[in-house]
Chain A
Amino acid sequence: MIKELTCINCPMGCQLTVVDKNDDGNYEVTGNTCKRGPKYAINELTNPTRVIPTTVVVRNAMLPRLPVKTAEPIPKGKIFDAMKVINQVVVDAPIKSGDIIIENLLGLGINVVSTKTMAKC
């Protein structure tokens, strides 16, 4: 098996080639500039994951939305389920960047954290 991928870990966007000579899961990755590339490629073929940046409703802050993200990438297939859960959350200011907004999202062992500090007003 040979597969071409674009590494999305950073804006360099390296063109990666993954070769699995005997189709036994022994992947050989070329085209990467740094060591994140091979890790990404193998993940992408076995269990593709993404960080989800989105927002939740916040009360008593300067703005009605607080930006949040999943602290770790979650499986691609869970993205819309995750959005359903995240969209039900309402928090109150003050909030600090890094505060946990949802613990153990969908039982994945991954938290949703705030990405902005918002004072109460």
Chain B
Amino acid sequence: MIYDVVILGGGPAGLSAAVEAKKDGAENVLILERDRELGGILNQCIHNGFGLHTFNEELTGPEYAERYIHQVTDLGIPYLLNTMVLDLTDNGDLKTIHVINEEDGYTVIQSKAVILTMGCRERTSGAIGIPGYRPSGVFTAGTVQRYINMEGYMPGKEVVILGSGDIGLIMARRMTLEGAHVNAVCELMPYSNGLVRNIVQCLDDYDIPLKLSHTITFIHGKDRIEGVSVSQVDEKMKVIPGTEEYIPCDTLLLSVGLIPENEITRTAGVEMDDRTNGSVVGELRQTSIPGIFACGNVVHVHDLVDFVSEEAVLAGKGAAKYVKGTLDTNVTFTTVNGNGISYVVPQQVAMKNVEENVTFYMRVRQVFKDRVVNAYIGDQLVATKKEKKLLPAEMVNFKIAKDVLAQYPAGEIRFVVEEAKK
């Protein structure tokens, strides 16, 4: 059988893309998931705070996932669990997906379109440079999240967390609730990499100190970690001598960022973007290879699952259009990250595919207060967005109406952070 759309990954991006592709007329849709259940990383994110934008209700990760799983089963979209995608090759009109599955072993699946929704994985690089032995007791925050929330296993009692990403903050609270003592969260930057709400409800609520401009300079212990040396850093992120402090601990969690999981994407030959570590995508999340789409954390790391679902709808629409032969391939605009902005997604826009507006997602390079984000085409200001506070941890989404963009024939849309005009 030849599928219309096969989705690689059954997390929130994959589920939402599958639902949309099916609703938009793709007939044979299939989801491939390596895990034993659908839902992706949401299954381990048992905390509340998901879905406020999408459902106007505060849901936990598993509840949010279940809403989409129901839509998938209601539409009768088939899925294969315990099925690992090994490789994807492009043969023009057909894509070949190589998978391995416990029951059937190695199989090959063919599809007209493919949507990449493999999500992201945690960086571990934060620990690599730290001097000391490599004792046990050092984990990524997400690994511990899975241990505690799904396996019911507590890895330790005296905890230090390196990095103030959201998963680290959430785990600081989680471990505290389960009876552990979290000594400190150390963040190299002078600002947190997590959402403010998580600082308030995960650290402040439990009097857990957040040490900004601090890093771990030594990991003590040979077999099991016994403690860490923590030092303050200056604005150049150089350790300030004499600020060293020893904190005993039996567990060190690393929450130093996420990277899109793109091995399959790269070997398939999809054009990548160094800024996001994801593929270059268009307004409907089409990649450089016709018929291959991508959305969710595999494209760029999102801090909110609501935006993942939103983006996945675009990819689902795109794939359905491609299968029906109505996807336009003429790129009208490319996007550029100007002053203060570290990346913009989508990187390309084909105006013929745009319905009412285009939402551009971007991140700022540093903390800004009372600024505007401006979009220029040439030297024309086309749209502006006022922001009281811009943080690298919080993605900016910037919607521009089709009518506004349609006034320009083509070119580069450049996004910059500027002082607000009085």
Q: List residues of chain A with CB under 8 Å of any chain B CB.
A: 6-11, 13, 15, 50-55, 57, 62-65, 67, 69, 76, 79-80, 83, 97, 115-117
The distance from the CB of B244 to the nearest CB of chain A, in whole angstroms, is 32
| B52 A63 Cβ-Cβ under 8 A | no
| A65 B151 Cβ-Cβ under 8 A | yes
| B388 A54 Cβ-Cβ under 8 A | no
Chain B residues with Cβ below 8 Å from A76 are 205
B304 in the interface, Cβ–Cβ < 8 Å? Answer: yes
Q: Which residue of A lies closest to B395 (CB)?
A: A11
Q: Which residue of B lies closest to A10 (CB)?
A: B52
- Measured between alpha carbons, how far is A63 from B46 in the docked complex, in Å? 14
- Measured between alpha carbons, how far is A65 from B46 in the docked complex, in Å? 11
The distance from the CB of A6 to the nearest CB of chain B, in whole angstroms, is 5
- Measured between alpha carbons, how far is A97 from B303 in the docked complex, in Å? 25
Decide: A11 near B195, CB < 8 A? Known: A52-B177, A65-B149: yes
The contact string, 1 if C-beta is below 8 Å from chain A, for chain B 193-208, is 0011101110001000
Q: Which residue of B lies closest to A68 (CB)?
A: B46
- Measured between alpha carbons, how far is A75 from B240 in the docked complex, in Å? 42
The distance from the CB of A39 to the nearest CB of chain B, in whole angstroms, is 13
Q: What 8 A-B pairs are tightest by C-beta distance, nearest first?
A: A67-B46, A13-B196, A116-B62, A8-B197, A65-B152, A10-B52, A115-B60, A53-B47
- Measured between alpha carbons, how far is A80 from B148 in the docked complex, in Å? 17
- Measured between alpha carbons, how far is A70 from B62 in the docked complex, in Å? 15
Chain B residues with Cβ below 8 Å from A64 are 151-152
The contact string, 1 if C-beta is below 8 Å from chain A, for chain B 40-75, is 000100111100110000111011001000000000
The distance from the CB of A92 to the nearest CB of chain B, in whole angstroms, is 15
The distance from the CB of B382 to the nearest CB of chain A, in whole angstroms, is 25
- Measured between alpha carbons, how far is A51 from B46 in the docked complex, in Å? 12
B402 in the interface, Cβ–Cβ < 8 Å? Answer: no
B234 in the interface, Cβ–Cβ < 8 Å? Answer: no
Chain B residues with Cβ below 8 Å from A63 are 150-152
B389 in the interface, Cβ–Cβ < 8 Å? Answer: yes
Q: List 28 A-B contacts (CB under 8 A).
A: A6-B197, A8-B197, A9-B52, A9-B197, A10-B58, A10-B197, A11-B195, A11-B303, A13-B200, A13-B394, A53-B46, A53-B60, A54-B46, A54-B174, A54-B177, A54-B178, A55-B149, A62-B36, A62-B37, A63-B150, A64-B152, A65-B151, A65-B152, A80-B177, A83-B177, A97-B66, A115-B63, A116-B62
Chain B residues with Cβ below 8 Å from A67 are 46, 60, 62, 149
The distance from the CB of A120 to the nearest CB of chain B, in whole angstroms, is 15
- Using a Cβ–Cβ cut-off of 8 Å, how many residues does chain B contribute to the interface with A? 35
Chain A residues with Cβ below 8 Å from B148 are 55
Within 8 A of A (CB), among B271-303: 303
Q: Which residue of A lies closest to B388 (CB)?
A: A15
- Measured between alpha carbons, how far is A8 from B200 in the docked complex, in Å? 7
| B49 A11 Cβ-Cβ under 8 A | yes
The distance from the CB of A45 to the nearest CB of chain B, in whole angstroms, is 14
| A51 B48 Cβ-Cβ under 8 A | yes
Q: A55-B148, A79-B177, A80-B177 are in contact. List 9 more A-B contacts (CB 8 A).
A: A13-B196, A51-B48, A53-B46, A53-B48, A65-B150, A69-B46, A83-B177, A97-B62, A97-B66
The distance from the CB of B274 to the nearest CB of chain A, in whole angstroms, is 27
- Measured between alpha carbons, how far is A116 from B49 in the docked complex, in Å? 15
Chain B residues with Cβ below 8 Å from A11 are 49, 52, 195, 197, 303-304, 394
- Measured between alpha carbons, how far is A10 from B52 in the docked complex, in Å? 7
Q: Which residue of B lies closest to A76 (CB)?
A: B205
Decide: A6 near B200, CB < 8 A? Known: A65-B151, A115-B60: yes
Within 8 A of A (CB), among B350-405: 388-389, 394
Chain B residues with Cβ below 8 Å from A83 are 177-178
Q: Which residue of A lies closest to B303 (CB)?
A: A11
The distance from the CB of B261 to the nearest CB of chain A, in whole angstroms, is 23
Decide: A115 near B151, CB < 8 A? Known: A8-B200, A11-B197, A69-B48: no
Chain A residues with Cβ below 8 Å from B174 are 54
The distance from the CB of A61 to the nearest CB of chain B, in whole angstroms, is 11
| A97 B177 Cβ-Cβ under 8 A | no
Q: Which residue of B lies closest to A96 (CB)?
A: B66
Within 8 A of A (CB), among B169-217: 174, 177-178, 195-197, 199-201, 205
| A50 B52 Cβ-Cβ under 8 A | no
